[in-house]
């Protein structure tokens, strides 16, 4: 049953030694991968289902000192099984389609992907894979590798992989060149996210239609950086996200193209809840959008909640807030930061494109709660204004402030009404109305002697002439101002 390669090339003359060495190297490289073809697990009578063959191969591989890669061929497989606990991970577990074939797509035809696998089953513990280390946060090292397979489901209740913190910490899983169509969930579940450490996503991904949240992760020290990942749906369910980062930190997320086409779905959630963070999440080089000008996302595209800490940069944020009323309460901005005391949104270098009918006073950012928001270098794109649409910008993108935290923006943005807490812009404090004694006193974000204050209601400039650094501050009008 174990297939080992032993057909080394014969020795040749010294003049050709280099080519011989090269051939030997390539042969040994193939052998070192130590692969088992799944189809070789069929019994003599040919009566095993493909699911039974996979279960047999999985069990045998787990018993090996050096587990092999279980290889699938360029064909269709059906691994469906209902009311059954999913396959568990083990150190060295690996399932792979034809290597280096790329993922292709089955959206426009089944020949778009070299290897297709179906799973119709359940979710949670009855997912295709249920990774269980035996206790809360119990690590399984290198628990699963999977790549180069187009997965599909047709019953709208199936989940591909479940790995909740209550059961495991997946330490070092690797996923690449994968497609998922028709699933309820792909990896993890809302509120019960897949727990990962030193996880890598690579290659080409395509997740075009789901009936629930495709990806929910928690953990730290990960590189979720596919070369390209297309994730989206049409009229997604209210309250779902394309990607949930739950208590995730010290992790890079890059290369995603998230599309929320109409419906009540947001793209990205960053939520640490009441937990304090031990390092930032980095999201960059992504497109986050509704479908287009006329088919925008219903509400916000990004939601940062609680003590979430994230650096969001170098992204395109397009076509949001087309119909925010399905949300409860109504969404108020393209990016919402509803922060706790230790929450932080550092957002910069974004290009914003509005959908048809979405005005310039619809905020790009709404800072709610406490915490900190730092926003700079955010630009409104002119879009198709020259063709007569209402995308053109005659003012700066707006920031709304409805909480009491610290908000800082630069001169690429403007404040809307309702400024509370500590607000600054390009080195000065900003307030609606006159500056009074003790305004903005206190470390670490409060004023210092020489700090400037701007009353944007009456158009007056103030300077801080004295402060004790904690509770008192004196403000004086600068020069003669009417």
Assign residue 319 a region: left if phi > 0, alpha if psi is -120 to 50, beta otherwise? left
The mean-pLDDT minimum among 35-44, 166-175, 270-279, 463-472 falls in: 270-279
Q: Name 177's Cβ contacts closer than 8 Å, sequence gap at least 6.
A: 97, 101, 102, 103, 147, 148, 149, 202, 203, 204, 205
pLDDT of residue 325: 78
Q: Name 266's Cβ contacts closer than 8 Å, sequence gap at least 6.
A: 240, 241, 242, 260, 297, 299, 300, 301, 302, 303
The mean-pLDDT minimum among 112-116, 153-157, 413-417 falls in: 112-116
pLDDT of residue 33: 58
Parallel/antiparallel/unpaired status of strands 428-431 and 422-425? antiparallel
What's the DSSP call for residue 380? Answer: E
Nearest residue to 117 (alpha-carbon basis) of 174, 171, 32, 183 = 183
Query: In the structure, what pLDDT confidence band is assigned to residue 271 with cuts at 50, 70 and 90?
Result: very high
Query: In the structure, what pLDDT confidence band is assigned to residue 3 with cuts at 50, 70 and 90?
Result: very low
**Do you find a cis peptide bond into 331, omega within 30 degrees of 0?**
no
Asked if pLDDT for residue 18 goes beyond 90, the answer is no
Asked if pLDDT for residue 297 goes beyond 60, the answer is yes
Asked if pLDDT for residue 56 goes beyond 90, the answer is yes
pLDDT of residue 482: 58
Rg of the chain's alpha carbons, rounded to an integer?
Answer: 27
The torsion angles phi and psi of 55, rounded to 5 degrees, stand at: -60, -40
Provide mean pLDDT across the span 406-435.
Answer: 93
pLDDT of residue 7: 44
The string of pLDDT tens digits covering residues 334-354 is 999 999 999 999 999 999 999
Nearest residue to 185 (alpha-carbon basis) of 161, 221, 218 = 161
The string of pLDDT tens digits covering residues 83-98 is 899 999 999 999 999 8
The mean-pLDDT minimum among 45-54, 161-170, 203-212, 242-251 falls in: 203-212
Place of tokens 């509005």: 354
The torsion angles phi and psi of 423, rounded to 5 degrees, stand at: -130, 135
Provide mean pLDDT across the span 415-432.
Answer: 91
CB of 186 within 8 A of CB of 159? yes
Instruction: Say whether pTM exceeds 0.85.
Output: yes
Provide mean pLDDT across the span 432-440.
Answer: 95
Residue 412, token pair as written in the block = 């690429």
pLDDT of residue 12: 46
CA–CA distances in Å: residue 140 to residues 163, 245, 262: 11, 21, 40
The string of pLDDT tens digits covering residues 196-236 is 999 999 999 999 888 899 999 999 999 999 999 999 987 67
d(C-alpha 47, C-alpha 201), whole Å: 36
pLDDT of residue 404: 92
Asked if pLDDT for residue 399 goes beyond 70, the answer is yes
d(C-alpha 409, C-alpha 428), whole Å: 10
Asked if pLDDT for residue 287 goes beyond 90, the answer is yes
Asked if pLDDT for residue 110 goes beyond 60, the answer is no
Asked if pLDDT for residue 121 goes beyond 90, the answer is yes
Judge residue 209's burial from the number of C-beta atoms within 10 Å of its C-beta, 0-12 exposed, 13-18 middle, 19 or more buried.
Answer: middle
pLDDT of residue 106: 56
The torsion angles phi and psi of 140, rounded to 5 degrees, stand at: -115, 120
| CA 331 to chain centroid | 20
> What's the number of CA atoms in the CB half-sphere (13 Å) around residue 144?
27
């Amino acid at each position: 049953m174990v297939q080992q390669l032993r057909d080394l090339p014969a020795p040749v003359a010294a003049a050709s030694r280099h080519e011989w060495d090269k051939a030997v190297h390539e042969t040994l490289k193939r052998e070192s991968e130590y692969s088992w073809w799944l189809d070789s697990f069929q019994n003599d009578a040919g009566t095993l289902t493909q699911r039974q063959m996979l279960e047999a191969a999985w069990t045998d591989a787990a018993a090996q000192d050096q587990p092999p890669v279980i290889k699938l061929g360029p064909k269709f497989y059906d691994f469906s099984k209902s009311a059954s606990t999913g396959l568990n991970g083990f150190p060295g577990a690996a399932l792979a389609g034809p290597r280096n074939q790329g993922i292709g797509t089955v959206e426009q035809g089944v020949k778009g992907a070299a290897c297709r696998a179906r799973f119709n089953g359940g979710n949670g513990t009855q997912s295709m894979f249920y990774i269980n280390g035996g206790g809360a946060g119990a690590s399984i090292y290198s628990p699963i590798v999977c790549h180069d397979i187009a997965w599909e489901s047709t019953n709208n209740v199936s989940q591909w992989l479940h790995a909740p913190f209550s059961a495991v910490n997946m330490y070092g899983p690797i996923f690449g060149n994968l497609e998922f169509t028709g699933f309820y969930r792909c990896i993890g579940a809302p509120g019960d996210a897949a727990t990962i450490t030193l996880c890598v996503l690579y290659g080409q991904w395509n997740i075009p239609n789901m009936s629930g949240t495709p990806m929910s992760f928690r953990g730290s020290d990960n590189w979720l950086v596919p070369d390209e990942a297309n994730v989206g749906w049409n009229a997604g369910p209210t309250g779902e996200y394309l990607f949930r980062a739950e208590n995730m930190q010290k992790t890079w997320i890059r290369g995603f193209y998230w599309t929320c086409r109409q419906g009540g779905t947001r793209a990205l959630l960053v939520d640490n809840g009441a937990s304090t963070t031990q390092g930032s999440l980095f999201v960059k080089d992504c497109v986050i959008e509704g479908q287009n000008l006329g088919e925008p996302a219903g509400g916000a595209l990004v939601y940062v909640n609680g003590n979430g800490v994230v650096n969001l940069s170098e992204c395109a944020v397009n076509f949001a807030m087309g119909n925010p009323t399905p949300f409860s309460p109504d969404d108020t901005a393209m990016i919402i930061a509803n922060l706790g005391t230790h929450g932080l949104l550092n957002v910069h270098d974004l290009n914003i494109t509005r959908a048809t009918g979405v005005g310039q006073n619809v905020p790009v950012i709404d800072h709610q709660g406490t915490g900190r928001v730092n926003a700079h270098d955010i630009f409104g794109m002119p879009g198709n204004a020259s063709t007569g649409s209402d995308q053109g910008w005659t003012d700066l993108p707006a920031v709304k402030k409805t909480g009491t935290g610290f908000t800082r923006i630069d001169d690429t943005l403007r404040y809307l009404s309702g400024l509370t807490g500590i607000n600054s812009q390009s080195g000065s404090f900003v307030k609606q109305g006159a500056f009074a004694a003790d305004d903005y006193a206190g470390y670490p974000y409060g004023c210092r002697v020489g700090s400037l204050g701007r009353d944007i209601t009456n158009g007056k400039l103030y300077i801080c002439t004295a402060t004790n650094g904690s509770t008192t501050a004196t403000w004086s009008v600068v020069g003669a101002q009417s």
